[in-house]
Structure 1
Amino acid sequence: MNWYVVYTKPKWEKKVSEKLNQIGIECYCPLIIQIKQWSDRKKKIEVPLFNSYVFVQLQDGDRNSVFQVAGAVRYLFWLGKPAIVKDEEIEIIKKSLQDVNVSEIAVNPFQVGDRIKLESGVFSNQDAIVQEVSKTHYILVLESLGCVLKIKYK
């Protein structure tokens, strides 16, 4: 069975994960502890590592069953197909969150000026510089090839 990424309504990750478990769908919502500060106090709270994402493991034919749960919006797609996360990657996330030596974890989107290495697709193993970031796409400069790449996402 594959792991898929379900996009949820904002701040619904834990609720969706609970409801999916209740109807028998194996899911994983990685949580971290953050210290939130208000004007009068500080408090440790459990927040999702990935905003609006929950991982679900099920057969390809059963993918629509997640939409029985309020708050599940859609699947995350990659190259026109539902994004699949490998078992090893889920295990790495789980192990890294259990590591007592890790004091803080943050997931940040790419920023303009970041230098990255493309890991898949036609331009695999190419170095790129992030030129633009928007809600619908990234624009990357591939200096070694002398071209600009626009990557759209859903």
Structure 2
Amino acid sequence: MNTATTKQWYALYTRPKWEKRVTETLEKKKLEVYCPMNRVPRQWGERKKALMEPLFQSLIFVYASESDQERIRETDGVINFIHWLNKPAIIRQEEIDTIRKFLNEYDFVSLEKASVNLNEKVRIINGPLMMWEGQIVQVRTNVVKIMLPSLGYALVAEIREEKPEKTVRPLAELNKRAV
């Protein structure tokens, strides 16, 4: 397969606060772009509201080939690709999927800069993240952390305790038990 036409995920630096604008511009150029959005609590006086903001400041992801890189760089608001060993860094599909799943599962996600040790792979065997593979970073009650090795970050979220569901039984069923 020709590397110039093979598509990969890349991370792009954008101008500060331009993540959404650059995402829209690249989508108009028919490129697949992912700008992870996170629910963030904000308070003005006594009024509280949850806003959607980019999870990564000045960072978006684009699924493109090497031949697309020049027209991506020319886009207004794009500073450059994140580089590793003098080449645009490739972000694994699994990490993009992990970010998407994590943001769908949890509200109010935060980021932590993390040291990366690629040797400690685990698979989660129960709970909402069952069958995800990743690295154990920290185990604490009601906190979930997932490593993103190629980005050097960990996604962190608090697990809300599940409220017990009320079960309503049909009146006929209750009458049968009374007899």
TM-score with structure 1 setting the length: 0.67
Unmatched 5+ stretches in structure 2: 1-6, 120-179
- Match of residue 91, structure 2, among 85, 99, 111: 85
**Alpha-carbon separation, structure 2, partners of 1:20 and 1:42:** 33
**Alpha-carbon separation, structure 1, partners of 2:116 and 2:10:** 24
Match in the other structure for 1:105: 109
Alignment pair present for 1:119 and 2:118:
yes
Give the C-alpha shift of residue 40 in structure 1.
5.2
Q: Tell me the amino acid that sits aligned with residue 109 of structure 1.
A: K
Identity %: 36
**Alpha-carbon separation, structure 2, partners of 1:56 and 1:83:** 11
Q: Tell me the amino acid that sits aligned with residue 26 of structure 1.
A: E
Closer, same or farther: CA 84–117 of 1 in aligned 2, 3 Å: closer
- Match of residue 32, structure 1, among 35, 38, 48: 38
Alignment pair present for 1:61 and 2:67:
yes
Unmatched 5+ stretches in structure 1: 111-115, 121-154
TM-score with structure 2 setting the length: 0.58
Give the C-alpha shift of residue 117 in structure 1.
4.7
Count of aligned pairs:
113
- CA RMSD of the aligned region, Å? 1.8
Indicate the structure (1 or 2) with the bigger Cα radius of gyration: 2
**Alpha-carbon separation, structure 2, partners of 1:56 and 1:87:** 11
